[in-house]
Structure 1
């Protein structure tokens, strides 16, 4: 049968078109039976990302990579160091289940290298640009490209470091624009004292530094764009510290690429030009190169020369410095006071060191962090001879430096204020005059406010209805002297903490609510908004006009108890700011009404979860471990790092509130006590708190210190691990408290029986036992045997061997109850008064 020439031509074209379509059409996934052969591709569902073979510009080698839109924007490369020299490459699933790249001789030149794969696997490609290897039947991810990146950070891709294993996820630059092999530069996360920074290294030497991340922006990058403001990160609870970013869909596609010169480039897709454009680069001037000017210097790109010594310092080597070799840096011109005293070169009455303020700077490397306020940050630095500078940021807290100040840069805008320690003689005379005037003013204000607060406390104890007017009078500067008396008319020394420390509270900063506003927020305290009921009265959920959710703690009108606790809580908590402490928004005092307004905690309190058989499953071990550490950090802040040294005195599960992410916040400071600078222990005639959480020296003798809170923390730890209340009975004889039960099980080597079955996992066995061990150390009979909270946090985050615990206090529940009943029966003739607090979480 003969075909015409037209028919022959049509047939040939049909066959060619079919062949072309077969080659160029992207497949959906890669399996052992469905491979990608050069030049075939695998495309994401939205069509933006492509996996396939490509050749870089000015090169003849072939690589397997992922690109956005076109091969001009390659974001990931598989066989970086082993290129293909022809077009015979294949991407497939090998017999061992790994995703591999084969050359023409079927040799593996790249593999996902996952060991001991037990089931069939396949590889898929997502719209985020992520390539994954997963088990076909279960869908479990065995490997993904986001954990082995090349030179590009994509949205939601994380740079990370595991603090336990030191495993890192880092970017590595190309050798050159035409060679994707691993170059000299790498970039990743560094964490010191829970402060995160991003570094670029040239081989092993730091080349660039982002400055500290404050939860939103990197403080060493001026004028961060809205894209950079989207950075998120932190500790994921599994030992990983990471940083990543997301981009709102309306902003398009944004990436960060580490180029072969060691510079970050922020690129975004320009749909009109149909190409990626550079919007930011990490190196604008030589000042962006790490430590270019040496220690105790500042680099300013607008100055000539760019490097200068900090005020009070001079070049270490003037000849090198004048020759523009600045790496030697500068040295202090005049020794500090503590250095002179230490070397006995002068008398101890030498004038104190001071601080020079540098504005809008990139703060130096090797910072140490502490979550305290700015003025406490200053005093802590001044008291420490090793501290050479400090700075403060609301998102981070206090930053201090004890080593050379390295890698500083002067910005024209942005940055932070840095206070550099110098000898008194280096301070400006004008600055000295300002300090004298400021100090005198502060002393005068403290005296005035102290007088006002004295009057305030006396009047509120006698005339509760006038509290609102008195607060307003203090705010307006109407200050009067006072003497506070108790109900019998004799001086009451137990309240001295409120009297003395109220002067430190800036009442003008405390938001005062009127009754109408509080009532409107809670729908007139409607029953449906009631969150709980305690001895002080009810707690209601509310919502302000701007949508802010609040919790309103309303003191019962009928209660004659609680006014001092009410005022004490205002005094204490209004000066505290920490992620693990509940935030006080304000108060309302009008007529007989007294209310405290807090941030709203949607998950109520810890006891709601750990003691509820249905809800305890929601708190696995990782979350419970995170809660334990959060409570510990909150207590450390109260004891050591806050403006005031505070003993909580009523730490318990119902006073640990949980936010929307189940992060813990210590609440209820009505029983808290403020310690003076030299106080370590106080003897009180009024024992307050909750039985079961009180330390023996406090319950028996009225002695309390930070070790009292440590005891309560230990009880909490054992409750969290076991899911059991300390107030219940355990053991066959029904006379053991949880502390007694835990101690006996530990001593007999049977601690496993103490662990809540809902959280037990063999992989966490040692971590859980370590927490039980720490809990038992905290509840030891003698206060001096218990660790400090600083030591507790160190124990929680390290592997060192713990000391053996001695016998726990209150081994037998009956003994503890007998004590309580005895004290209650003798309350009218005893000097001790015990209040049992049972307050619902808010």
Structure 2
């Protein structure tokens, strides 16, 4: 019996230890999943309560009431108006407008965000005086015939019929009707008083005719508390742009509005929902509004939500970001972030000033006094304070000695700050969600314990020097003797040293998981996945080596690029792709899963593209039939979106430098994904061009300023895109056009046809009747503009998108392209003099003096 009990105790101890390791390994992912689970439970509760309501139509007439057991539903069942509590445990209710019959619906409008009603005693009524108001059936203010809790709107005494109607747009209006039932006048509408959600048809701006009434959004205080929070989204009439402010300070601006592309400079493009903006300006009002083509596109509803931490995103479907003001206080060069000293971290000497949400507690260190533990309190006078985590974080960031903060109340409200005399201890056994916020440079390790360091679990690559093959790997190291603690350890590896760590200390059948879902694969796992690099698994061969198809034990299909041992620049390309993967995440860029190093071999592991590369279809007489005009134009659009992201919307401005048909991969739906970033270069946001002595890329796709003088910029990619687009239109390679007396490249051939008014003769015969001839000629025009001789005159990718999609936009006439006739000669700088190295058609990995 004793032995059995001992075995059970040992099993329990091992089980608990394993659970701790799982929790430590996953860190915040565990907390995020828990929060998400609680949010879903709350949403399901709301859905359950809403489903049991009596549907009383879309209209309240004089004398009608709406209570906690009934709901208004718009005519086409798109929106509903009803009283709801914020979660199953709340005693108070609010009058909300939200999507009808959607379980996780966002509460798009709140009537009484400052005046909650004790549940279930709230009542909305349109009384005999034509006043729309919220009252309570319980004694006290707002009960019976006394003063209402909230007056929404009123209509002067009139002989006309007065009603309150919930529209399919989500707008709740109080209106007078004509005898035929049409609207005579709208006296009040919810769209004039938005809360934290911006619906199509709403306005952001100012109404000069109504005492300067402002249309703007104000965030909630927290997920369950609709009290006005710290962030607002409004329209700046002076700068003609959107602004997100935190407690009055501008955190983010949208930048200028481009009428031709219908885009704001710093609004993150949405790949699934297309927003159409309209700006109205007259003597009475100035505002911005937006619409979408349909209410539901690809399972996505248009519904902008300003979160309580400053994040602006479209709530439904993929929750795609629109603006990230929540990142603007973390020394991050985000799109549209304002360089205001009030927003930046004052402790610039420290590395990493983000705050991490954790479960645990603060307490004094053994060698410190308790006089500064806690540090100090802020605005904790009552539980209805609308102080939020963003306010607390902003205050803590201003004091270099502030270790972190937590809250005193459940909402949460009221900050309690902790100094560096304290220490934070994680405790995963605490009930509820994580409620402490700890600065990323902490916690401190205890001097009394020496943890045993095992192989690292999570790493981030950081480039040290471009010309040096060493790079740094920042790793999260697990402390096996302190299962409730973990610290960051900084390790610096060269490529061979990194191989030794991966080869000697990691189980051959396991993966070493890194940041951004990037993994270090063991050599054995790659050999097994590719059947020892079997010839039948070979997908092709590029300038840096062969590519193989593989299948992991998990069933996931991969593509393995095995860098050639003979490639002098293979290591540089390998390193460059690893660094860039942390900056580039876009639907039109191929995804890198990880890498493998084995002795002298280096391998990159990508997502598998079942339809290979674009050149496989484009330049094959049989396969080319599968690319009709609709598909080709879709591929062109996808490539432009990917390049636009690289040049403008990624966190780092990137020039690809080797865009061509073989570097555009096609997924199962024939959507394009740009690949091979080994030659790419990162620009700072202030750099316009770079001059280099190393010429890399593919001859025929290089612009003259780069091939002859080593000058490259985003306009270099525009040139390559122009050549590629002409290849897509013609179905022929760049160097396959000739006439009787001279050699022509594709750009030269297209120019000759365009000059003679015969642009349609460039069309691939495989297109047949599927081709839209006007659209085709427009593409030829844009392609020729992109391959122009003067880089300054080439359009940007955002202008290219406008030219391709806005058919009413007049296009400039192209000029004679560079490298139009004769043999294409490429030179590089050797000893200060140009040297002829090669002709068109060859991939160059490196051209520099030896």
- TM-score scaled by structure 2? 0.49
